[in-house]
């Protein structure tokens, strides 16, 4: 079933990538020294990547993968038990 039932016009898709950081920068968008970011702060359109290559099938696969990932995260949080440091 479609997440958003309204039709989406693929001809409105854009292709935009953020500017790279200086090569000697210790910061990155992801990794050990990542910084907080919003897509609107990185690109004019708010798109990261190539939305012109989108298809309904790719969207369905992406949504299924995201849902599976969130189920795993929620399951992991539910099963988590704080270590008992008094039993050392």
Residue spans per domain, the chain: 10-80
Alpha-carbon distance of 12 to 9, in angstroms, equals 6
Alpha-carbon distance of 88 to 84, in angstroms, equals 8
pTM here? 0.61
Q: Is 23 left (phi over 0), alpha (psi -120 to 50) or beta?
A: alpha
pLDDT single digits (tens) 16-74: 988 887 888 888 888 778 888 888 888 888 888 898 998 889 988 999 999 999 999 99
Angle at 12 between CA 9 and CA 15, to 5 degrees: 130
Alpha-carbon distance of 20 to 51, in angstroms, equals 19
Q: Report how many helices (DSSP H) and strands (DSSP E) the chain contains, helices first.
A: 2, 2
């Amino acid at each position: 079933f479609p997440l958003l039932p309204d039709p989406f016009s693929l001809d409105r898709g854009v292709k935009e990538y953020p500017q790279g950081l200086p090569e000697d920068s210790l910061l990155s968008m992801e990794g050990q020294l990542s910084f907080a970011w919003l897509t609107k702060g990185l690109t004019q359109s708010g798109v990261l990547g190539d939305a012109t290559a989108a298809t309904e099938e790719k969207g369905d696969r992406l949504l299924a993968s995201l849902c599976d990932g969130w189920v795993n995260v929620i399951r992991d949080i539910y099963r988590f038990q704080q270590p008992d440091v008094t039993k050392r």
